[in-house]
Amino acid sequence: MNLRVIFLTARRNRGIILGMDIHTRETLKINEKGHLEIGGADCVALAERFSTPLYVFDEVHIRAMMRVYRETIDREYGGYGCVLYASKAFSCMAMYGIARQEGLGVDVVSGGELYTARKAGFPAEKIYMHGNNKLPSELEEALDAGVGHIVVDSMLEADRLEEMCKARGKTQRVLLRINPGVEAHTHHFVQTATPDSKFGFSIANGDAARMTEHILSLPHLELRGFHCHIGSQIFEKESFSLAAEKCLAFLAELKKSGYTCEELNMGGGFGVWYAEDDRMIPPSGYAEYLSALIGTIKTGCAKYGLKEPFLLIEPGRSIVAEAGITLYTVGAIREIKGLRKYVAVDGGMFENPRYCLYGSRYTAILANKANEPATERVSLAGKCCESGDLLGVDMPLAHAETGDIIAVLTTGAYNYAMASNYNRNLIPPAVLVNEGEAEYIIRPQTYEDLTRNDILPDRLTK
């Protein structure tokens, strides 16, 4: 039985008011023991074998998401495009390995991500390098590695890159990051007349056109086209279409002065299910986002008489967020009568800072009592010395006891990627599950790792 059915049934039968729907996922189930299962692996068994806190990723879900995007481009755009995994969502060697096997490209936003991708054997020509303030050293690293494209986001960078390429006697393919002036939000989108962003050159105020002209004047940069990324956790297809329309109108203007855009990168940002009222979209449903976008691009190109550009998209969150869960063990439970119940876990803001950063919402479930209906609302507390160190407040949960295993769902994106050693807590390991088999893709840290780069000057030992 899938989770959604379980919860709906529980709500009906026992008159539960604090029921919730869990996003149905082919590989997230409740097994005959009443345990939560991910990718065919029993979460309670995973917690016993690998200990908690533990990041768990379902490989089947990750691959399904990558394929949906790739196959949509194949089917509806003649395969004339490439899906780039926005690796900042979860960057580790295994993810670059999966992306490579699935025929994706990747985008990287730092020298560290580039290094990790290359170390995993990811082909340099399928790497796009982003960043609003790439360091000179990072640009050199990108050129050393031979990355396919660098996405230029400042005049300084364009000029630096030109100098570096000139010195090397090579030409570098670049895209220019533009800002179409579409501000996308989680539940609505608005058009902004005066874009205010640290990213991209505004189309509306003419900066994008001026910067295009400048790059075209630099002999060692080959301007292949443009990139935009309107935001993250967006559910409205209209936002993406509106951005595409603005980009195409811009390309139509450039065409008049003789420039033909070869590549158009529309970024990422597709929303995922985290909690209660978020939209639930199965992997196959994400094809609709891309279909809508492709439709807009085809229509726009026909309208303006433009050549259909090589299409790139850069989903990060939607590829990996729902594929991941985090397992914790319940420790202290504190009930403040008439106020709030805190259930403390062995993790916190050091391995999932998103509640602290953005007030993000999550769904939690007792993995060892997954059939029990959510009858309470509790706040999940972390173990850091910060009162703000929570994973969520007033989350529906079944009655929890010390020792229970809690699974927090949809933690695959921007969790490990943002983890820290705050309070000198160890960043948990990550395991990849595939049809019931689990293996480490990120080893557990040790206390020794914590002091590896520490230096105790001699004078401080006396």
Ligand X SMILES: *Cc1c(COP(=O)(O)O)cnc(C)c1O
In the complex, the residues that contact ligand X under the rule CB under 6 A are 86, 88-89, 107, 130, 229, 232, 267-270, 314-318
Separation in Å, CA 245 to CA 177, 344, 440: 16, 48, 44
CB of 325 to ligand X, least distance (A): 18
Of the pair 89, 247, the CB lying nearest ligand X is at 89
Of the pair 42, 314, the CB lying nearest ligand X is at 314
Collapsing DSSP to helix, strand or coil, 219 comes out as coil
Of the pair 178, 407, the CB lying nearest ligand X is at 178
List the beta strands (DSSP E) in 203-350. Answer: 221-227, 263-265, 310-313, 324-336, 340-345
CB of 113 to ligand X, least distance (A): 11
Residues 346, 385: contact at Cβ < 8 Å? Answer: no
CB of 354 to ligand X, least distance (A): 12
Q: Is 435 left (phi over 0), alpha (psi -120 to 50) or beta?
A: left
Residue type, 91: S
Residues 240, 289: contact at Cβ < 8 Å? Answer: yes
Rounded CA separation 424/411 (Å): 21
The stretches of 325-446 forming alpha helices (DSSP H) are 354-358
Of the pair 29, 88, the CB lying nearest ligand X is at 88
Rounded CA separation 377/12 (Å): 18
Of the pair 23, 229, the CB lying nearest ligand X is at 229
Residues 85, 104: contact at Cβ < 8 Å? Answer: yes
CB of 349 to ligand X, least distance (A): 20
Please report, in angstroms and rounded to a whole number, the separation of the first and last CA atoms in the chain.
Answer: 65
Of the pair 107, 346, the CB lying nearest ligand X is at 107
Residue 343: φ, ψ to 5°: -110, 115
CB of 231 to ligand X, least distance (A): 7
List the beta strands (DSSP E) in 123-205. Answer: 127-129, 149-152, 172-179, 182-184, 189-191, 201-202
Rounded CA separation 461/446 (Å): 24
Separation in Å, CA 430 to CA 108, 110, 309, 321, 373: 21, 22, 38, 14, 28
- Name 17's Cβ contacts closer than 8 Å, sequence gap at least 6: none
Tell me the catalytic residues. 385
Of the pair 53, 412, the CB lying nearest ligand X is at 412
Bond into 309 cis (ω within 30)? no
Report the candidate in 415, 411, 427 with the shortest Cα–Cα distance to residue 353. Answer: 415
CB of 293 to ligand X, least distance (A): 13
CB of 335 to ligand X, least distance (A): 37
